[in-house]
Structure 1
Amino acid sequence: MALKTLSAKNAAALDKDLMSFGAFSIDQLMELAGLSVSQAAGAAGSWLLAVQETMAVMAWYEVLFMAPQGPMRLATQLRNLGVPFVDDFDSAITEADHVVDAIFGFSFSGEVREPFPAVIKALKETELPVTSIDAPSSWSIENGPPDSGPGNGFHPSTLVSLTAPKPLVKWFTGRHFIGGRFVSPDIAKKYNLELPAYEGIDQVVEVENIAGKL
C-alpha cells in the first residue's frame, strides 16, 4: 500500500472535520491520541501512561514536564491523579526509561522558543528511546529535520503519526506507527488517504519506513 502523507494545512482541516460532522470533542481526540501513543510506545519497548499532545515531555514512570502555558484543566486533572510535575528536565531524564516528545504538533513553524531549546538538546543527546508524536520537535512538517539550531541532529527512535503521516516522514529512519482509528471512511476519502487496517482492538499500526522513498 502506498503511504500518502497529509500536509499541515490539511491536517488542521481534517481535525476540524472530526470535530464537526465527525462529532468528536477535542478532549475525546486528545484521549484517543494519547491511547495511540501509549500503545506505540509499549510496542517500542516501554509501557507508558496515556499522553496528550498538549503535554511537553513525559517519562513512563509518570513524571511530567509541561510548558508554563499548558492547559490548566489538564494540569489539575494530572495533579489530582498524583502525577508529579518537574521543571528541571535535565535531572528528570536521568531517571527515565523512555521519553515521549510531544512539545509541538503539526502546526509548528518558525524558531524553537524558550524553554524548549534545552529540552530538545537533551532529547538529542540522550541514549534513552524517544517516541515523538506527529513530528520530532523542531522538525519542519514539510521539510524534515532542521539544518541548524537545537534540533539539528535530533532523530528519535520512534514516531507516531496521528491520523496520517506528515511529509517529514521522508527523513525519518526509526520505527514508524500510525495512530488514529477514529478517522471515518468518508473523511479518509475526502483527504485521499489510504490508511492501514488496524488489527483487533489495536489503536496503532506499524508501517514500513519510507525514508528516501517518496
Structure 2
Amino acid sequence: MAEVKANSNTDKAKPEAKKSAKKDEPKDTIWSRREFFSLAGWASFMATLGLSSLYFTRLLFPRVLFEPSPIFKAGKPSDYTVGEVSTKWVKAQRVWIVRDMEGIFVIFALCTHLGCTPRWLKTEAKYKCPCHGSGFTKTGIAFEGPAPRALERLKIELDPEGQIIVDKSKKFLYEKGEWDKPGSKLLV
C-alpha cells in the first residue's frame, strides 16, 4: 500500500512539472488574454473614476448668474422733461421713466401678454410689443392686441439727496386701482 501512495504522489508531481514547464516557455505576445482584459477593466474603471471626479469638482463651482439689485438710483427729477418718456434705463433695468404734468412714474418694460419687451414708439406716442402686437398708451394702459392688462408701474421715491430711487420689487397694478397709491407716482 505504501507503493500505491508513492505512485499517487509521483502522479501529483508530474502535473506540477508540466505546469512549470509551460510557464518557462517564451510568450508570443506581450500580455496573455487574461492580463489584457484585466488591464482593460482597470483602465476603464480608472477612466470612469477620473471623469466622475471632474464632474463632482464642477459641482463645487456652480454658475452664478448676476442679478442686479432691484433698487437703483435714476438721477434727479430735473433730468426728465415734461411730456417725455425716458428710454435710458430700458437696457440696464428694463424700465421707462415718464414725466407728465402731474409728476414722474416708472413703467416696467414687460408686456403683460407673454413677457416680451415692448418698444417705445415716440412718433405714435405708444408702447408696442414686437411679439404679438399689443399696444399700450403713454401711461401704460393696454388698448390693442392680446395683452390682458396694463403695464405695471414700479415704486418711485426721492432720497434725502434729491435722487430718484426706483424699487422694481414693488409693483402697482392698474386693474387693482393701485396707480393712485403712494409710491406709484412721484409728485414734483
Structure-1-length-normalised TM-score: 0.26
| Bigger share in strand | 2
Structure-2-length-normalised TM-score: 0.28
